[in-house]
Amino acid sequence: MSGHSKWSSIKHKKGAADAKRGKLFSKLTRALIVAAKEGGPDPAGNLALQNAIEKARAASMPKDNIDRAIAKGSGTDPDSAAYETVVYEGYGPAGVAVIVESLTDNRNRTAGEVRHIFDKNDGNLGTSGSVTWLFERRGLVLVSAGGTDEDELTLAAAEGGADDVSLDGSSFQVLSAAEELASVREALASAGFEIESAELTMLPKTTVALEDENEAKKILRLIDQLEENDDVQEVYANFDIPERVLESVAG
């Protein structure tokens, strides 16, 4: 992945994720509701729900909360019908391409808030399709590198349908076609590997290198403010920032 994944890791280590757990649980609950509503309550046949459950578990969401959200989504609760998926695309500082995935019950509100965040951070909200061509939807499983044999991991990943394994800092990244994510995750778990996360992601085909610390601060501020928005579920960007610059900015 690009520097964005490294930035997320740094924020997690600094405890930022825990500080925002209340807001995170709210977003995860919304994702569970919508996934269950659109694909049914059985995760075995609903990849979106599988991914939502995995994210909720990774964030230590209580099982009762997960079950209630799924029940709400698969029932007739009016809250579940209110949400819809809306994707925004644009460019941030230094020409970095940004994709924002949201779940909202008010398109006008969310569009206005996302546009405002882009505008005040030297970015521009674009039209549909303006940057998606720079990304591809992939399955991504992160496996702890500690004590992991890369050859054994690569073999197990290939048996599950993965097409690439690479080391990125303290984790191995296992990439696959989007539709193979569930089988790859199951193969790795069955082989006894420690899975840190498993999700569908938008992987940049090309990246924008940001060596300048000021430019790095600008794009990371944009990403942070977008992720802070209650309606925003995921933010993808094609920046690549050297670790020395990331460490400086995080410090």
Show pLDDT as tens, one digit a residue, over the chain (251 residues): 455 555 665 565 554 555 566 788 888 998 999 888 888 889 888 888 888 898 888 888 999 999 999 988 887 565 555 788 899 999 999 999 999 999 888 999 999 999 999 999 999 999 999 999 999 999 999 898 888 999 999 999 999 999 999 988 788 999 999 989 889 999 999 999 988 888 888 999 999 999 899 999 999 999 999 998 989 988 999 998 888 888 888 76
Do 51 and 27 meet the contact criterion of CB atoms below 8 Å apart? no
Closest CA to 118 of 97, 135, 134: 97
pTM, two decimal places: 0.82
Q: What value, to the nearest 5°, has the Cα angle with vertex 113 and ends 108 and 114?
A: 100
* pLDDT for 60: 85
Rounded-to-integer distance, Cα 93 and Cα 106, Å? 27
CA quadruple 76, 78, 83, 84: dihedral, nearest 10: 60
Q: 69-81 as b/e, with b when 16 or more CB fall inside 10 Å?
A: bbebbbeeeeebe
For residue 76, give every residue at least 6 positions away whose Cβ sits within 8 Å of its Cβ, in sequence order, or none: none
Give the number of other Cβ atoms within 10 Å of residue 26's Cβ. 12
DSSP code for 218? H
Residue 2, judged by CB atoms within 10 A of its CB (0-12, 13-18, 19+), counts as buried
Q: Which domains does the chain have, with CATH numbers?
A: 3-82 (1.10.10.200), 84-125+207-230+237-250 (3.30.70.980), 134-204 (3.30.70.980)
Give the length of the chain. 251
* pLDDT for 43: 87
Which element (helix H / strand E) includes 57? Answer: helix 47-58
* pLDDT for 117: 97
Rounded-to-integer distance, Cα 52 and Cα 46, Å? 10
* pLDDT for 66: 93
Give the number of other Cβ atoms within 10 Å of residue 125's Cβ. 18
